[in-house]
Amino acid sequence: MHTPSRRHFLHSTVVVALTVIAAMLSQAPAAEPKRPNIVFIFSDDHAYQAISAYGESRKLIDTPNLDRIANEGVRFNRCVVPNSICGPSRATVLTGKYNHINGFVNNTNFKFDGSQMTFPKLMQAAGYQTAMIGKWHLINDPTGFDFWQILPDQGQYYNPPMIRNGERITIGGYVTDIITDVSLDWLKKRDKTKPFVLMCQHKAPHREWEPALRHLDFDHDRKYVEPATLFDDYNGRGIAEHDQDMTLEKTMTPKDTKLVPPPQLTAEQRKEWDAYYEPRNEAFKKANLSGKELVSWRYQRYMHDYLACIKAVDESVGRVLKYLDDEGLAENTLVVYSADQGFYLGEHGWFDKRWIFEESLRTPLLIRWPGVAKPGLVSNDIVSNLDFAETFLDVAGMPVPAEMQGRSFVPILKGTTPADWRKSFYYEYYEYPTPHHVRPHYGVVTDRYKLIHFNATKDAYWELFDLKKDPQELRSVYGFTEYADTQKQLEMELQRLRVELKVPEKTPPSWFGTKPFDD
């Protein structure tokens, strides 16, 4: 009886010892794992409705390269922005903070304070190579980048002037192609011993939506399906929705609709431009349209131009993905595609952005990270560009500073939403009255509801929308008896968020733009 038991004991000891050694060996890698690279491709005013991976009902365009990121990675259906305009969105991306904290609250009378903490600065200090190429739009020069080449202000589509590390230059060609060329060139010349962050930021498809000449006839005069709300009368909503200045009917200019060509074209480029637009413009003038017919014509022209700009952006994404493939970089690189906010493609009769409503609140977000992000995953969690800085630091294995106001969504990329992930989001828009005369407002967004306060004009008012019953946000139910409990809960949540996010109780009047309270 004694011997077998002793033998068994010895045998077990040997097995345990071998197991421990094996485990130790497997935990001792030969070298430190390589830190992931980040390629951040960011466009300006790219509506999720214009990415085929989002499956919008009008099926406006095929974007095979953007769809590739979605198929090989994660598509976020509800990436929302804290303030739906260009500069403020960019300031949020860099800082992981709301605009009332990072100080860039509107495009009209603010500059970005480049001395503050940003994620590129932190990653640069941690040994990452950093580059910022393309549209910057934060007025002051970029900080925290080893290399930068930006468009001054809004930039131009053809033959754009650029500023390279402080030096003014002009480059011939089409802006989306140029930004891609410069980005790939920087990748080729980079120090290959270091990880990198590349911010490749397009001007396209910002107004006035000027396509590459090779894409002028890309849709062969296709007739696009009109959105159901193209002729919205704004009934069921307040004065802000009625007196804005962003409709196809009243706001679109002859330059927007290409009845006037862009002045920056060379004679050669102008010839190609005219060959496409002139016969179509002549036919338009002859038709002498008015009323709804004129709005419908403008919608078709707008879709042609806007979507043609997207074609070049999609091609650019394809070139970057190919470079990563060819160089063997794809495996260890996080590829992000997003835009600074959403955009109206004729919904509610509008173009532009600014509102807390879905089309402008939601921005596209597609992320590929081989071996980590779950391929083909679709997330309906509320994430935001407020979370980008935190997420990128997390991807690099770096700590997230407590002063940042978003949260890393790396767990969501891996397929697990943390139990305490946010269920609500705070939004605030300030810029008024120009451009576009959209009244300042703030509010809280959940998966189903929006409570909004138009706060900065003498006739302030509230709205409440039930997205489940009214996905197009056509009828405010604020003050309706059946929503009394919901309204109360949302009011409390809004107040809780304002305190948590340190929103000033009273907004300084200067934040509203050039001429607040003018009506």
347 binds Ca ion per the rule CB under 5 A: no
Least Å distance, CB 339 to Ca ion, is 7
Q: Which x/- pattern over 377-416 shows residues binding Ca ion (rule: CB under 5 A)?
A: ----------------------------------------
Give the up-direction half-sphere exposure of residue 405: CA atoms within 13 A in the CB hemisphere.
Answer: 25
Rg of the chain taking only CA atoms, in angstroms = 25
Applying CB under 5 A, which part among 7-15, 216-224, 280-288, 333-341 lies near Ca ion?
333-341
DSSP state of 55: -
Written as one letter, the residue type at 337 is: Y
45 vs 358 by CB, closer to Ca ion? 45
Identify the CA nearest to 138 among candidates 199, 190, 220: 199
Least Å distance, CB 45 to Ca ion, is 4
Tell which one of 305, 340, 358, 394 touches Ca ion (CB under 5 A).
Answer: 340
Residue whose pair of structure tokens reads 């004009």 in the numeric block: 457
Applying CB under 5 A, which part among 84-92, 140-148, 422-430, 487-495 lies near Ca ion?
84-92
359 binds Ca ion per the rule CB under 5 A: no
208 binds Ca ion per the rule CB under 5 A: no
86 binds Ca ion per the rule CB under 5 A: yes
Applying CB under 5 A, which part among 21-29, 336-344, 402-410, 474-482 lies near Ca ion?
336-344
Residue whose pair of structure tokens reads 């002063």 in the numeric block: 403
Cβ-proximal residue to Ca ion, closest one: 86
**b/e code 217-251 from CB counts within 10 Å (16+ = b):** ebbeeeebebbebbbbebeebbebbeebebbbeeb
Least Å distance, CB 206 to Ca ion, is 6
281 vs 363 by CB, closer to Ca ion? 363
Written as one letter, the residue type at 191 is: D
Least Å distance, CB 403 to Ca ion, is 26
Strand order in the sheet with 461-466: 424-429, 441-446, 449-454, 461-466
Least Å distance, CB 89 to Ca ion, is 7
Applying CB under 5 A, which part among 45-53, 110-118, 123-131, 172-180 lies near Ca ion?
45-53
Applying CB under 5 A, which part among 339-347, 363-371, 418-426, 440-448 lies near Ca ion?
339-347
Written as one letter, the residue type at 199 is: M
> Which segments of 73-166 are extended strands (E)?
74-80, 129-135, 147-151, 161-164
232 binds Ca ion per the rule CB under 5 A: no
β-bridge mates for residue 130, sequence order = 197
352 binds Ca ion per the rule CB under 5 A: no
Written as one letter, the residue type at 352 is: D
86 vs 200 by CB, closer to Ca ion? 86
Least Å distance, CB 245 to Ca ion, is 17
466 binds Ca ion per the rule CB under 5 A: no
Q: What would the two tokens of residue 244 be?
A: 């804005």
Burial (0-12, 13-18, 19+ Cβ within 10 Å), 294 = middle
First and final C-alpha spacing in the chain:
99
In this structure, the number of other CB atoms found within 10 A of the CB of residue 189 comes to 9
477 binds Ca ion per the rule CB under 5 A: no
Give the up-direction half-sphere exposure of residue 211: CA atoms within 13 A in the CB hemisphere.
Answer: 27
Least Å distance, CB 346 to Ca ion, is 17
336 binds Ca ion per the rule CB under 5 A: no
300 vs 363 by CB, closer to Ca ion? 363
45 vs 314 by CB, closer to Ca ion? 45
Binding positions for Ca ion, rule: CB under 5 A: 44-45, 86, 340
